Amino acid sequence: MINILIQAVLLGGYYALIACGLAFMFQVMRVINLAHGALAVVSAYLVWLLADSAGLSPFLGVLLILPVMGIAGWLLQRLMLERAVRGGELLPVLTTFGLAIVLDNLMFQQFGANTRSLSPYIGDLSWEAFELPGNIYVGKLPVYILVAALVILGGLDLMLKRTALGRQIRATAADPVTAGLIGVDARRAAGIAAALATMTVAVSGVALGLRGTFDAYAGAPQLLFAFEATIIGGARSLWGVLIGAIVLAVAQSFGAQIHPQGFLLGGHLVFLIVLFVRLSLKGRSLNLMQILRSTGKGAAQ
């Protein structure tokens, strides 16, 4: 039982990693990027290529592709999203969906139907584990992925709250025109935000490849997981994303205990329940962080 819970929290770390880029784009640019999962798989393939052809460790590989994906994100914002957003809130959905189809099928054309994994390139790390009291073994890799998620979420959160760039990005998110009036270069801020989001996607793509296998069409489920984690978490704060990701992973893990097909179903159902509860609490939207905080206060009093 405890073992399942611990494994689920670690899986939640991966979901937080994949969701933070999506949530960040959503918060800052009001855009849900449907090519999010496809971009993660692109990163995984790029790192796999580096590892397969040049024997480069995936951990070095991810450092190399970070700038590449950053530039890709900046281009995505400049060439596509900027134009699409001007046409209303629906066009970005359609544009990025088209991009996802193009990327998925190009990867299929290039790499075929075989599944790939990055785990053969990291030696013993893929099965090494920490031993906890009570005969519980915790894989080192999932722990590192959870730590990476915490570092990235914390970094993004600090950057948004404490730095000049973060203030510019938040100002652009709130109102690009007014932000422009007071001297914020809104195009630059949006471009940088997109680049940052896509860099987190690169990390999550590598995590996907390290944890297991992937193929050209693996992007769609990753997008759904990221989306569910974001919505369950309330889509308001980045830390909400972490909680949403863990809730999703716990639901999936317990679903899998109940029925062999229950893994996906468990996650989807929790997502629906959260949507439903949020609607019945309409007006007071379900922000899990707030509820936790207020119950925490209640307990202290």
Partner 1 sequence: MTIHRWTWQSKLTFALAAVVLLLLALVPGFASGGVIERLTVLFIYVILAAMWNALAGYGGLVSIGNQLFFGLGAYMTIRLADAGINPFAAMALGAGIVAGLSWLLSLFMLHLRAGEFAIGMWVLASIAHLCVNLDPLIQGETGTSLISLNAYAIDARRVLIFWAALIGMVGLLALLFAVLRTPSGLAMQAIRDNEEAADSVGVNPMRTKRLFFVLAGFGTAVAGALWLAQVSAFQPKTYFSVQWTAYMIFMVLVGGLGRFEGAILGALIFFAAETWFADTGVWYLVGLGAVAMLFSLFLPKGLWGWVETRTHISLMPLGYRVQFDTQSEQGR
Pick one of 8, 17, 34, 65: the residue that binds partner 1 (CB under 8 A). 34
Residue 75, interface with partner 1 (CB under 8 A)? no
Alpha helices in 87-185 (DSSP H): 91-111, 140-162, 164-174, 176-181
Query: Residue 232: CB partners within 8 Å, gap ≥ 6?
Result: 243, 244, 247, 248, 270, 271, 274, 288
Residue 167, interface with partner 1 (CB under 8 A)? no
Q: Which is nearer to partner 1, 113 or 299 (CB)?
A: 113
Q: Which residues in 218-257 contact partner 1 (CB under 8 A)?
A: 220, 223-224, 227-228, 231
- Contact criterion met (CB below 8 Å) for 245 and 48: no
Q: What is the largest CA-CA distance in the chain?
A: 61
Gap between the Cα atoms of 200 and 106, Å rounded: 22
Pick one of 9, 93, 125, 165: the residue that binds partner 1 (CB under 8 A). 93
Using the contact rule CB under 8 A, the part of the chain among 62-70, 160-168, 194-202, 269-277 near partner 1 is: 269-277
Minimum separation from the CB atom of position 97 to partner 1 (A): 6
Gap between the Cα atoms of 38 and 103, Å rounded: 6
Q: Name the residue among 73, 38, 79, 35 with its Cα closest to residue 195.
A: 73
Residue 264, interface with partner 1 (CB under 8 A)? yes
Minimum separation from the CB atom of position 200 to partner 1 (A): 18
Q: Which is nearer to partner 1, 15 or 121 (CB)?
A: 15
Pick one of 60, 71, 108, 281: the residue that binds partner 1 (CB under 8 A). 108
- Residue 110 has which token pair? 């290039």
Residue 279, interface with partner 1 (CB under 8 A)? yes
Residue 97, interface with partner 1 (CB under 8 A)? yes
Alpha helices in the chain (DSSP H): 2-29, 36-54, 58-75, 82-86, 91-111, 140-162, 164-174, 176-181, 186-211, 219-233, 238-258, 262-280, 288-300
Positions in the binding site for partner 1 (CB under 8 A): 26, 31-32, 34, 80, 83-84, 87, 89-95, 97-102, 105-106, 108-109, 220, 223-224, 227-228, 231, 259, 261, 264-265, 268-269, 271-272, 275-276, 279, 282
